[in-house]
Amino acid sequence: MPKKQTVLIMALAALVLVAGLGLQLVRVRDIKTGDRSTAARPIGLAERMPLAPAGWVGIDEPLGPTEFIQSAVEQNLNYDDVVNRIYRQGGRNFGLYVAFWTPGRMPVQKVASHTPDRCWSENGWTCEELRSGEELDYGAGQLLPAYWRRFATPGGSAGQQYVLYWHLVGGEPYDYGDGHNRRPNPVKWWRDTVHYAIKGSAEQYFIRLTSDRPFAEIESDPGFQEVLGALAKLGLAAVPPRKAES
């Protein structure tokens, strides 16, 4: 065997050996299910979101139609805290979903794979229109830009749903790009997977608002504004509070 080839093989073998020893010294996290070694640490999301904002009645709803499905959702998402609430006012309604993960509990790429673009589409919904960078004002400023979607319900029998969603990682918005993200970006997926395996993940929130009518019709409503203000306090505030007029 040529000398150069022998040296190359020995160098590669040494590299593999060093990498193997390194992986034994570094704690590699479970990139499929996240950290389940500790109990969930809720932060009181249900209490931090208004239950009865001005003119509306809030009702907390389960994350599935049966206890079995609810348990499966909880196991899959592995969140620390969650609130899933419907607000009703006469014939109008809007929904609020907020999930929270403490640092290291869930891989970023796993949370990022549960957007409406993927989950709703896989359950028969059709995304008919989408935008990124959607801006919403609340009483004291402006929220971070949201991803906006308009979905047709399965079969189109129940009309449409308008959706706004945000994913915060360490207080910063996760970048899904400008298009439909039913399939994850492979570069970001590998980046986030390796980062989680070695370093873990930062604190995360996934926030979603839904409505059966355009948000422009309720954006200025005092009760809806109250909910936006509560979301701003969770970390969605983009603009410093406005100074009171003298």
Percentage of the chain beyond pLDDT 90 is: 50
Mean pLDDT (the chain, rounded): 84
Say if 245 falls within a structural domain: no
Phi, psi of 126 (to 5 degrees): -120, 120
Evaluate if residue 230 carries a pLDDT over 90. Answer: yes
Calculate mean pLDDT across residues 37-62: 94
Residues 6+ apart with CB under 8 A from 2: none
State whether 110 and 183 are in the same domain: yes
Residue 19 shares a structural domain with residue 41: no
List the domain range (segments joined by +) for residue 14: 1-30
**Do 39 and 7 lie in a common domain?**
no
Q: Read off the pLDDT band of 4 (50, 70, 90).
A: low
Is residue 244 assigned to a domain?
no
Whether residues 2 and 104 fall in one domain = no
Number of domains in the chain: 2
More confident residue, 153 or 57: 57
Question: Residue 89 in contact with residue 54, Cβ under 8 Å?
Answer: no
Residue 58 has pLDDT above 60, yes or no: yes
Mean of pLDDT values over 208-227? 97
Q: Tell whether the model's pLDDT for residue 215 goes beyond 80.
A: yes
Same domain membership, residue 87 and residue 208: yes
> Does 181 share its domain with 127?
yes
* Averaged pLDDT, 97-111: 91
- Which pLDDT value is given to residue 246? 38
Residue 134, pLDDT > 60, answer: yes
User: Same domain for 72 and 19?
Assistant: no
On whether residue 46 sits in a domain, the answer given is yes
Q: pTM, whole model, 2 decimals?
A: 0.82
